[in-house]
Amino acid sequence: MAETMPEPSSEPETLSTDLTGVDAWPIATPGRPVVELRGVSRTFGSVPPVEALREVDLLIYPGDWVAIVGPSGSGKSTLLNVLGCLDRPTAGAYFIDGIDVAGLSEGERTAARARSIGFVFQAFHLLAHRTALENVMLAEMYAGGERAGRRERALAALERVGLAHRRDFLPTRLSGGEQQRVAIARALLGTPRLLLCDEPTGNLDSASTESLMLLFDALARQGLTLVVVTHDEGVAGHARRIVRIVDGRLSEVSE
């Protein structure tokens, strides 16, 4: 589901952040969910139709760390696409901080995704001839962030994931775990309300996986809302909540 980031030849066009008809997004509060799914279903119109999600209800609050587990073909990727505003539900409602994103136009959904959601994937998607710092800075270039202070914000994001000392290294000189930390710093640069991670440890060894889990622990303690899709029960065991999806139906495993 990930798309690689193309290399810019010059400063790219800025992404529109016009949320026509939508007031300034409210700040998340402990009493209001960051994510709320109400009876969300997603059916693909093949023959016969495929019900990838079936009346899914889910509440995720600020600072939650939720692991989504389930077998292949269970609907995990479809759920992640809906949560990330990459796909629309066939039925039901999806709210981010009280805003019904399912009812937004394509342009509004794109702007909402850029300002409120960070993505981390199994593949790191770093430009090989750009330094760690430059790879992080690219996130703001594509999202239309202000040029002033961009380097400082990117460096602060690297510091947040414990990698500021590697800022001038190319990805080829970084370990897999370090490359994933750069990818996480890139996702954090826009201070998203929600960080969606799709099998983030899939390309890591056990030591790097454990180190990444400690980082996720720290980010969750700082109040970041994390949703991690994983096949690894050890990774899921670090989460505060585990939800399981089977045949498109979601159930809470632990809380």
Mean of the pLDDT values across residues 217-229?
92
What does the pLDDT average to over 29-58? Answer: 89
From residue 74, give the alpha-carbon distance in Å to each of 77, 99, 120, 167, 168.
8, 27, 20, 39, 41
Q: How confident is the model at residue 30 (pLDDT cuts 50, 70, 90)?
A: low
CA–CA gap between residue 234 and residue 167 (Å, rounded): 30
Give the CB-side neighbour count of residue 132, counting CA atoms within 13 A.
29
Rounded CA-CA distance 251/253 in Å is: 6
% of the chain surpassing 70 pLDDT: 86
First to last CA, the chain: 28
Give the chain's mean pLDDT. Answer: 84
Residue in the structure block whose two tokens are 């066009």? 13
CA atoms within 13 A on the CB side of 42: 25
Q: How far apart are CA 20 and CA 15, in angstroms?
A: 14
Look at residue 34 and tell me whether its pLDDT is greater than 80: yes
Measure the CA–CA gap between 104 and 50, rounded to whole angstroms.
25
The string of pLDDT tens digits covering residues 83-105 is 999 999 999 999 998 889 877 88
Quick: pLDDT tens for 142-189. Answer: 666 677 888 999 999 999 999 999 999 999 999 999 999 999 999 998
Model pLDDT, residue 110? 84
pTM: 0.81
